[in-house]
Amino acid sequence: MSAVGLRRRATVLAALRSWFAERGFLEVPTPARVPSPAMEEHLHGLPAGDAWLRTSPEFALKRVLAMGLPRIYEIGPCFRAEESGPWHGTEFLMLEWYRVGAPLCALVEDVESLVQACAAALDVSPPTWTHWTVAEAFLTLAKVDLATATVTTLRGHDDDTWDEAFFRCFLDHVEPNLPPATFLRDWPVSQAALATIRTDGHPRAERFEAYLNGVELANAFHELVDATEQRSRFETANRERIGMGFAPHPVDEGLIQAVGQMPPTSGIALGVERLVAALCGWDSIHPGRVSSPAP
């Protein structure tokens, strides 16, 4: 990372910690070496002896939530194999925080306030946010009605599953055309991961993602607190990994136990380097590659 990048990241880190301190959050460091790197089938961990380097601090932080601490956060390094490019890195800095008893909309407000504080610290203009459901984004930008969408209408390949076609359409037609600062909420149930499912009206995952200047910045859930369902999702994700030719993730029994002991909670993960780069107008999280960064 360049000297400019280091200065800007340090400014943002100071602003983040100040923001959380003002709101009564406890900073909690958790281990980087963990018994299971992830649950999601598309994430790939890096082995570390007889354990793994974490892809996020989520599993460990949920153990802390089960102990009874209501507002916690962590800023620390995470590691993912098979991820490289302008907006990806094998090692990166992640911010994750949780609010016990808070609805998911409270985290939307957190993101808006936190990004505004970081923009002020960097002396750049804060963004104005657009709020869409995933269905609204697909209908507006891809002309696809998700209520009746098929692999064909999603412009998928003949051998795609519905979820594969969904992501292909999302990456090709939705994500590149989002407004500069966008929240996308109400994701398909099949992409709930560790989120609860709402069944009022039509089923949907209580999840949102935040995008800033075309970059996925954050991913938030109203967290699952059912241990039996958590185990089932772990098993389902592992079956899908095996079907894709990948080894299954080890099941983290500590996570399963913690999920069953957690109170209703909303949680979110945010990429720190992505936040810095997006606010600074860079085209990469690797500022040493930026041709003419601002002084």
DSSP letter (8 states) at residue 248: P
Judge whether residue 290 has pLDDT over 70. no
Q: Looking up tokens 């910690």, which residue turns up?
A: 17
Q: How many residues does this entry show for the chain?
A: 295
Q: Give tens-digit pLDDT for 50-70.
A: 999 999 999 999 999 999 999
Q: Give tens-digit pLDDT for 205-239.
A: 999 999 999 899 999 999 999 999 999 999 999 99
DSSP letter (8 states) at residue 267: E
Distance CA 104, CA 285 (A): 28
Judge whether residue 294 has pLDDT over 60. no
Q: Looking up tokens 């459901």, which residue turns up?
A: 133
Exposed/middle/buried for 50, CB within 10 Å: 0-12, 13-18, 19+? exposed
Whole-structure pTM value: 0.94
CATH domain 3-127+226-289 topology: BirA Bifunctional Protein; domain 2 (3.30.930)
- pLDDT value of position 260: 97
Residues 6 or more apart whose CB falls under 8 angstroms from that of 256 comprise 227, 230, 231, 234
Pairing assessment for the beta strands 181-187 and 130-133 based on DSSP bridges: parallel
- pLDDT value of position 289: 55
| Amino acid making up residue 79 | F
Whether the Cβ atoms of residue 160 and residue 151 lie closer than 8 Å to each other? yes
Q: What H or E segment, with its residue span, contains residue 98? A: strand 91-100
Q: Distance from CA of residue 146 to its chain's centroid?
A: 22
**CA nearest neighbour of 280 among 57, 2, 8, 93:** 8
- Maximum CA pair distance of the chain? 53
- pLDDT value of position 114: 98
- pLDDT value of position 293: 39
- pLDDT value of position 295: 35
Instruction: Supply 109's token pair.
Output: 């407000």
> Residue 178, Cβ neighbours under 10 Å: how many?
22
**6-20, 25-39, 134-148, 279-293: lowest mean pLDDT where?**
279-293
- pLDDT value of position 288: 66
Judge whether residue 199 has pLDDT over 90. no
| Amino acid making up residue 141 | L
